[in-house]
Structure formats: C-alpha cells, structure tokens
Amino acid sequence: MGPRHTIISKCNELFLRYGVKNLTMDDIARELGMSKKTIYQYVQNKSDLVKKVMQSHLDKEIAYIDEVGKNAQNAIEENVRMLTYMSKELQSFNSSVFFELQKYYPESYALFNEYREKVSLPYILRNLERGIKEGLYREDMDPEIVARIYVYALDILIDQQRFPSKKYHFYILYKEFVTYHLSGIMTAKGSKYLQQSKLLKLIEQ
C-alpha cells in the first residue's frame, strides 16, 4: 500500500466520520502521521483531496456493484447484498458530509451527482427489470419512476431539517428506507423467497 492509497483511504474514513469542512489539512496530517508537505506531493489542496477521495469511494462502489450483479442468484439477493455493503459503509457515516460537499466542494458533489445518473440509476433500473422478469417484483410498477424515487430519496434522507443527524442516525434511516422499498416492490413470491432465505438475517444485523 503506497502513500497515495494510504492518504485517500484514511481520509475517506475521516470524512465519513467527522464531516469534511471542519477537518483542516493540519488535522489530516496529524491523523495520517505525516507532514503536509508529504500529502501535497499527491494532492494540490484540500479541494483536490476531497475530489480524489470521492472518486476513489465511487470507484470502489462501482466495482462492488459489478461483482454483485455477476454473482447474485436473483434480483432480491442482488438488492440485499448491496444493502449490506452500504450499511457497513454507513455505520459511522456523518450525514452532514453531503451538505458540506454540496455547499463547499461543488466539484466533488458534481462527481456524486454524475454517479447517481450514470451508475446508480441504471443499476437500480436493471435490478427492477430483472426482478420483474423473475416474478419477484411487481410487474404493474413503472421501473423508471421507482428507480428515480429510490435514487433521489437520498436528498430527503440527508436533509438536516427533516432528519437531523443528532436524532436520526443515517445508517438506521437507510436500512428503514431500503426495507420500505423492498416491501413496496416485491410480489408474494418475492416476499416468500426473502422470508425463507438467509438474506433476511443480513438486513436485520
């Protein structure tokens, strides 16, 4: 593991836990146990660091999406596997991160929005269409509308007026939302499969 990978990986953890704005480069250098001079060999400034961390995080998620899509036996397993992956990522997530990115780091937030349009939305749409073909999801729904509701519901979940982070941990919010999503799209066959499979235990963890 080289210095660049260490910087990006550790900063990803720090930003998720503490937010982005309040962490100075001095704080980051101290947490990394290296000098700012060393860090600046790999990033131009804090904005560049945030952007590189965001891109690394999205690349990691894309790789996992590809892996799950290839190996999941059906749409429900694919959905639940993605839920459990995201749940682990969100265990120590500070929901102020998205607000701070939107307000102070527009280039990084633009990367995230592009990811939602070009990766998340097509992925959810494929999952819905797959589930319908497998008889596990309702065939009377409009997959494109449901996919957009799912992807852009995040804007509501991170809204600090509706769901202040001091009262609602984002990890819990996300699990409730995905459970709500599955309940709304599954057929009786899909619900029975989920109940009988070991996947339900993953959701309840």
Task: Let me know if 166 is exposed, middle or buried by CB neighbors in 10 A (0-12, 13-18, 19+).
Answer: exposed
Q: Mean pLDDT per segment of 10 residues, for the chain of length 205 residues?
A: 88 88 92 92 94 92 87 90 75 74 92 93 95 97 96 85 82 84 94 82 59
User: Residue 200 has what pLDDT?
Assistant: 62
Question: pTM for the full model?
Answer: 0.85
Are the beta carbons of 186 and 194 closer than 8 angstroms?
A: yes
pLDDT in tens, 88-102: 766 666 667 888 888
The pLDDT of residue 91 is 64
Q: Is residue 166 part of a domain?
A: yes
Q: Which residues pair with 137 in a beta bridge?
A: 186
Asked whether residue 29 is assigned to any structural domain, the reply reads: no
SS3 call for 46: helix
Looking at the domain assignment, is residue 197 inside a domain? Answer: yes
Residues spanned by the domain of 185: 50-204
The answer to whether residue 198 sits within a structural domain is yes
Q: What is the pLDDT of residue 25?
A: 94
CATH number at residue 139: 1.10.357.10
Classified as helix, coil or strand, 52 is: helix
